[in-house]
A and B are shown apart, each in its own frame.
Chain A
């Protein structure tokens, strides 16, 4: 009886330990993801630290897609911000590897498509003249894919709007359409309900900034 009781308690204890782990996951992720909202985060070395933190969490929590997602997000942001174009491909490779891991855990994910679109954009920036033909359309195709997976994801519209706004007209850009798409993104942001406190929510501020530029 005692043994049964003990073993029950033991498994209960494990469950509690697992919950403790999970609570740690939620709290650490909550803190780290929260910091992504701060503009201080958006400096290359801070982003590198952040991507390392998320990679550590990802390595410890092998069944969660979000740490991989955020690690890749920090890497692609770093790639887009760095002035040293020679670093971009390496960062894009790392971000891509993290997206592959994330996608294996969470297939057909609209958020992952958004990061993949940004990765293609980062690769394009390295050498627009020779890479434009390949990565421009790929970036756009990823967003289309993201829209197909989840038509309510505001980040898809934000990135599409940004692309329309910033791409020269002769390459398929369209300022008017860009602005309309960004306004649609704002509506989607307003209606968007993240799945959890640590699910991706970024972009609303950036959308507003883009819209002020569009005027």
Chain B
């Protein structure tokens, strides 16, 4: 029996005796000998352990004996396991290495501003675009508050760093948008066609962008469409100038969604009350519709369709400069269709595939009585069609590095008829690109690649090398450098006239410093851009134009210092000269200002649930052409400085079950006079200021949004 007692002792009492205490203490630091507080230190397989104090020290007693494994974990750091013997008192000092996770590695930031909810390096959120005062929900207007963009408000498009609007490409899910802006009238810019709510991400690249994109000399606006919505919803909007309605439906299995939207805008009643400078004689009236379909085809596959169709008509009458006392009229009817279909899928552990196709067509029908007093008005019809297909493969190389290979094909048809005289051309454009992102260390990376392009209408091939480097100083700051060659076909209207033209070229050099915490961003960028082979139309059509642009830009955004306040300040200095089109020599072009600055201020009043917004933009005067001056004074005169204050207020409430927002927005609230340039009569005797059509625009609207379950309630309550 004693034996039994012995066994009893061994097996039952012994574990209790093992509670003999060993003491383990030490200190935990990171690679730079800084103390790490909050580390969980423990004996593996037991409960024994401790959390390190502010100075990185820890100390605990353990009942385990013999050889044990001491573990240490802290999020953001590599876990550590060390063999120790708990028999005697132990002093253990540990160094933990930070984990190179996707959030901490350096990324290329030179030349680009990203607006996204998901990605790091995000400067703007999609909602920021909608709530920027003075932008009236127009993506381009909001982008204009960022450094690099010009306040060129007398013509549509993004004018970036000395480049024209044509030199900026807009892409949706990688697919080119041929006509991203509404067709416009002389001196009245067309808005962007696409609602900011369609996109989960917006990247505004003011230069040095990836070899993935071509045919933009100065800038790329890369829009990434929403994935599946979180839930079904519908919306209804009413404003002073129109109505819109939309529906977004998510299937029960949350794998498929579709959405439709329609809007109708009619500015005629508004212009009856507030007389514009140019009197409307047609519309302005716009009907827009869009549809999307998204399907998650597998755990990693996504199919997206987006289609947009739009009809507009507008016309204005203005007193004639050439024939005082007479009116000149300009009427425009536009039809526009844009569709794209994209599919992405993970092929295996390393490879990703992306395929896209897009089709767009645009027709502008113009009846113009302005060019000269003809007995009959001039009829102009401009039609353009573009089909694009694109395929890209991504391959992971190690943990963060990757290789990107792809190609695209575009088929473009351009037709124009001028009083029945017809001209047209078609272009087959093919391009291939390869690019690799290589991480030398998690805080130092390089991107190198190139793009080869061939355009059949030009009959020429080009090769554009691109390279970037990024180096991270610490968790918040980094330097980036980018270099690249960019080629673009001349505008279709010049190719129509002359087929001997070749590519225009720009070479970019950009150096960026960025410091970014979660709620503040500071950026400064220095750039130099060299233009060559720009199109000249005088004395003869040629590629003999050239020029340069250089400057420095600053951006500061702060969402932390003041409660409920978010503001950003951007400043751009631009020095640019170019000799192109009919310019007799190299001068600062009429779309470029030397100094441009914006302040965007947003204040949320939680008690009133109201958002207030204020945007102030400033730009120094732009050159304009005065035909009365001698030729060597070409573009030597400047317009007045540009000042504009936009305000907006949005009040959030609910009406029955619908989340409702009332929006009031006033552009140029102080009524500052804005002159963009001057038009002269052909004899130079009379001139007319180019000013906004209405000095101040007031927008009042109501938007209701409801989930489908709630919508049913609303309908029942009606």
Task: Report which A residues bind B (CB closer than 8 A).
Answer: 6, 9-10, 12-13, 16-17, 20, 24, 28, 45, 48-49, 52-53, 55-57, 59-60, 85-86, 90, 93-94, 126-127, 129-131, 133-134, 137-138, 168-172
Q: Contact check, A9 vs B45: say whether CB atoms are below 8 A apart.
A: no
| Given A56-B49, A130-B117, A170-B659: A90 in contact with B75 (beta carbons within 8 A) | yes
| Given A60-B47, A129-B127: A12 in contact with B652 (beta carbons within 8 A) | no
Q: Contact check, B11 vs A60: say whether CB atoms are below 8 A apart.
A: no
Q: Which of A16, A59, A93 has the largest count of B CB atoms less than 10 A from its CB?
A: A59
Q: What is the CA–CA distance of A60 and B47 in the complex, to the nearest angstrom? A: 7
Q: What is the CA–CA distance of A215 and B652 in the complex, to the nearest angstrom? A: 26
Cβ-based interface call for B76 (8 A): yes
The segment from B36-44, B236-244, B680-688 found at the interface with A is: B36-44
Q: Which of B4, B40, B76 has the largest count of A CB atoms less than 10 A from its CB?
A: B40
Cβ-based interface call for B194 (8 A): no
Q: Contact check, B51 vs A52: say whether CB atoms are below 8 A apart.
A: yes
A173: min CB distance to chain B, Å: 10
Q: Contact check, A56 vs B40: say whether CB atoms are below 8 A apart.
A: yes
* Residue of A whose beta carbon sits closest to that of B76: A90
Cβ-based interface call for B231 (8 A): yes
* Residue of A whose beta carbon sits closest to that of B16: A20
Q: What A residues does B46 contact at CB under 8 A?
A: 56, 60
Q: Contact check, A134 vs B38: say whether CB atoms are below 8 A apart.
A: no
Q: Contact check, B75 vs A6: say whether CB atoms are below 8 A apart.
A: no
* Residue of A whose beta carbon sits closest to that of B653: A170
Q: What B residues does A55 contact at CB under 8 A?
A: 40, 73
Q: Contact check, A171 vs B659: say whether CB atoms are below 8 A apart.
A: yes
Q: What is the CA–CA distance of A12 and B67 in the complex, to the nearest angstrom? A: 26
| Given A85-B519, A86-B519: A48 in contact with B75 (beta carbons within 8 A) | no
Contact with A along B222-245 (1 / 0, CB 8 A): 000000001100000000000000
- How big is chain B's contact interface, by range? 35 or more
Q: What B residues does A94 contact at CB under 8 A?
A: 75
Q: Contact check, B44 vs A59: say whether CB atoms are below 8 A apart.
A: yes
Q: What is the CA–CA distance of A85 and B654 in the complex, to the nearest angstrom? A: 29
Q: Contact check, A13 vs B11: say whether CB atoms are below 8 A apart.
A: yes
- 4 more A-B contacts (CB under 8 A) besides A53-B49, A169-B654, A171-B652? A16-B11, A49-B51, A86-B517, A86-B518
Q: What B residues does A169 contact at CB under 8 A?
A: 654
* Residue of B whose beta carbon sits closest to that of A17: B15
Q: What is the CA–CA distance of A71 and B371 in the complex, to the nearest angstrom? A: 76
Cβ-based interface call for B604 (8 A): yes
Q: What is the CA–CA distance of A59 and B653 in the complex, to the nearest angstrom? A: 48
Q: Contact check, A93 vs B75: say whether CB atoms are below 8 A apart.
A: yes
Q: What A residues does B4 contact at CB under 8 A?
A: 9
Q: What is the CA–CA distance of A59 and B45 in the complex, to the nearest angstrom? A: 7
Q: Contact check, B11 vs A17: say whether CB atoms are below 8 A apart.
A: yes
* Residue of B whose beta carbon sits closest to that of A133: B230
Q: What is the CA–CA distance of A52 and B517 in the complex, to the nearest angstrom? A: 27
Q: What A residues does B653 contact at CB under 8 A?
A: 170
- Can you pick out 14 interface pairs between chain A and chain B where the beta carbons lie within 8 Å of each other? A13-B11, A48-B38, A48-B51, A56-B48, A59-B71, A86-B518, A126-B518, A129-B127, A130-B117, A131-B117, A137-B230, A169-B654, A170-B609, A171-B654
A22: min CB distance to chain B, Å: 12
The residue from A9, A49, A57, A93 contacting B7, defined by CB atoms under 8 A apart: A9
Cβ-based interface call for B125 (8 A): yes
Cβ-based interface call for B606 (8 A): yes
Q: What is the CA–CA distance of A57 and B43 in the complex, to the nearest angstrom? A: 11
Q: What is the CA–CA distance of A83 and B527 in the complex, to the nearest angstrom? A: 39
* Residue of B whose beta carbon sits closest to that of A52: B40
Q: What is the CA–CA distance of A172 and B656 in the complex, to the nearest angstrom? A: 10
Contact with A along B423-435 (1 / 0, CB 8 A): 0000000000000
Q: What is the CA–CA distance of A52 and B609 in the complex, to the nearest angstrom? A: 40
* Residue of B whose beta carbon sits closest to that of A21: B15
| Given A13-B11, A49-B51, A130-B127: A60 in contact with B45 (beta carbons within 8 A) | yes
Cβ-based interface call for B417 (8 A): no
B324: min CB distance to chain A, Å: 54
Cβ-based interface call for B326 (8 A): no
Cβ-based interface call for B473 (8 A): no
Q: Contact check, B609 vs A168: say whether CB atoms are below 8 A apart.
A: yes
* Residue of B whose beta carbon sits closest to that of A2: B3
Cβ-based interface call for B12 (8 A): yes
Q: What A residues does B38 contact at CB under 8 A?
A: 45, 48, 52
Q: Contact check, B47 vs A168: say whether CB atoms are below 8 A apart.
A: no
Q: Contact check, B604 vs A59: say whether CB atoms are below 8 A apart.
A: no
Q: What A residues does B127 contact at CB under 8 A?
A: 129-130
| Given A9-B7, A24-B47, A86-B518: A138 in contact with B230 (beta carbons within 8 A) | yes
Q: What A residues does B49 contact at CB under 8 A?
A: 52-53, 56
The residue from A20, A129, A131 contacting B604, defined by CB atoms under 8 A apart: A129
A51: min CB distance to chain B, Å: 8
Q: Which of B8, B49, B707 has the largest count of A CB atoms less than 10 A from its CB?
A: B49
Q: Contact check, B230 vs A134: say whether CB atoms are below 8 A apart.
A: yes
Q: What A residues does B517 contact at CB under 8 A?
A: 86
Q: What A residues does B42 contact at CB under 8 A?
A: 56, 59
Q: What B residues does A24 contact at CB under 8 A?
A: 47
Q: Contact check, A137 vs B231: say whether CB atoms are below 8 A apart.
A: yes
Q: Which of A16, A56, A93 has the largest count of B CB atoms less than 10 A from its CB?
A: A56
